[in-house]
Amino acid sequence: MNFAKYIIGAFVAMGGLANAETLDKSQISHDAKWLVHLDADAIKESFIGGRILEMALAEMENEGSIHFDLEGLIDEVYSVTAYGTSFDQDPEENSVLILRSSERFRSIVDAFILSSGLLEDEDGAEEIQEAPYPTYLFSDEVHVSFPKEDLALASKSLAQIKKAMRVIEGETESMDDADSDLTLSKENGFFFIATASGINDIDDIPPKARVLQKATGVQLSLGEEEEIFVSNITLSTTGPTVSDQLYRIIQGMIALASFTEIGDESLALLTRNISVTKGQDFVSVDLRYPSANIEKLMMNLAQQGGNLQARQKPKIDYDKAVEDGVGGEAIGVANVDAKADNGNLPRNATDADPETFWGSRARTWIRLELESPSLVREVQIAWKNGLEGRHRFIVQTSQDGAKWTNVIHRRAAGGSDQLESYNIPDTATSWIRILCEGKGGDRRSIQISDLRIFGQRDYVASEPENSDE
């Protein structure tokens, strides 16, 4: 079992907004040569980040290697920062990953390790007793330490973890204390930052990236503003002559790219949204483009490459009709909970009071445990903010509240905050979950003021008869 894959998947795929974490230079060693920072909450709330997360989770699930609530684990992560002090001399031994999380994160990891039997597996996990803080060694390769309940550090080298912890505790110099040129432009407002200095001294740069050797440093920043994808690439140079050379090279590359097609999409429109500026010792490339269009380009690129085509989700027909009957008796709800709320609790959706509601961010769910096993025929939902747009959602059923089956995909009619009826295939179930995907124009707000279930109470599905051949 490769636990490193779980960690990498969670770190790369990254929710309450109150915990959003921008880059903290006091956590980075003064001699760092490269760093990558991910604001987990910000990317989770963004349109493009949510799509990347969905694709990453689907890929890992399709590989059959995920056997626990990985998405729930990711929800406990606030930020991820990785940095290294060398490119050429044992770079993996000289790098560390810092994860800021809720205080629940460590207990979730501990519970998974104990329940999965990793400690009994020779290629699984080993607890390092002599470490100064709780530490596991995974696959005899990666150390993961928990110096604090809301902090995890990972590295191939335990010594590197100890060194990183001394920086975090202010015992040794950080980027805040030193004159570091590792960050080249503003970091705030982006959910992802990757930067490196001294790249002109790296020997093994691929031929297609040799243009980078004209620069002394590079920073890539990605973010989103009102569903507009924004990115910046800043290249530092040794002076105006190199800046002018890089400026002309980049302009030529953009011109060539404008004639390129990915699938049926031309890059001409994308390239028209790129601006290039130069200064005495830098060149900056900025892009602003609708996130939905970026997603479409990504999917076309995946199809053209052929590597991800088989794992793509089929196109959803939100208007596919259900032909069986609706209605029946109202089915009571024993318990209700949700993935998240904004202070307006899940029980408000089932209290029959139109003035109260459950509220949350998008890409979330509300789950109902029925009072008895039932045959469900119809779900009714009142979207309190239905006047503002059309919510997209999935109705799921489950016998145990853990394994779920999609029964319908729907898009709300919109233009109303009153109850809407949704016919589902007659389904014997004990649980109903509404998986909310958001709505056009604003994928950040979910408000349900009323949620009702109809069908037949106390229903026991008949067992299929076995026929003798």
Please list the pLDDT of the chain residue by residue as tens digits (469 residues): 343 343 334 333 333 333 335 788 889 999 898 999 988 877 777 777 766 766 666 665 555 444 455 566 677 888 899 999 887 666 667 899 999 988 888 888 888 788 777 777 767 788 888 889 999 998 888 999 999 988 999 999 999 999 999 999 999 999 888 777 777 666 666 888 999 887 666 656 555 555 666 788 889 998 888 788 899 999 998 899 989 988 998 888 888 877 776 655 567 778 888 999 999 999 999 999 888 787 777 776 666 554 433 334 455 666 777 888 788 999 999 999 998 888 899 999 999 898 999 998 767 899 999 999 999 999 999 998 777 778 889 999 999 888 889 999 988 888 888 999 999 999 999 999 999 876 544 445 789 999 999 999 998 776 544 444 3
Rounded to the nearest 5 degrees, what angle is found at the Cα of 186, between the Cα atoms of 236 and 273? 80
What is the pTM assigned to this prediction?
0.59
Rounded to the nearest 5 degrees, what angle is found at the Cα of 339, between the Cα atoms of 334 and 342? 100
Whether residue 318 lies inside any domain: the answer is no
Same-domain pairing of 263 and 335: no
Q: Which residues make beta-bridge pairs with 435?
A: 365, 394
Question: Alpha helices, DSSP H only, in 63-208?
Answer: 70-75, 104-116, 158-168
List the domain range (segments joined by +) for residue 443: 329-456
Same-domain pairing of 373 and 262: no
Same-domain pairing of 396 and 282: no
Whether residue 465 lies inside any domain: the answer is no
Whether residue 441 lies inside any domain: the answer is yes
Same-domain pairing of 296 and 379: no
Same-domain pairing of 295 and 352: no
Give dist(CA 164, CA 95) in Å, integer: 9
Same-domain pairing of 52 and 166: yes
Task: Name the percent of the chain in helix, strand, coil, to the closest 5.
Answer: 30, 35, 40
Give dist(CA 391, CA 442) in Å, integer: 9
Q: Which of 214, 217, 277 is nearest to 246 (CA)?
A: 214
CB count within 10 Å of CB 67 equals: 12
Whether residue 131 lies inside any domain: the answer is yes
The first and second tokens of residue 388, run together, are 């503002």
Give the domain-ending residue among 250, 278, 311: 311
CA 41, 80, 113, 65 torsion: positive or negative? positive
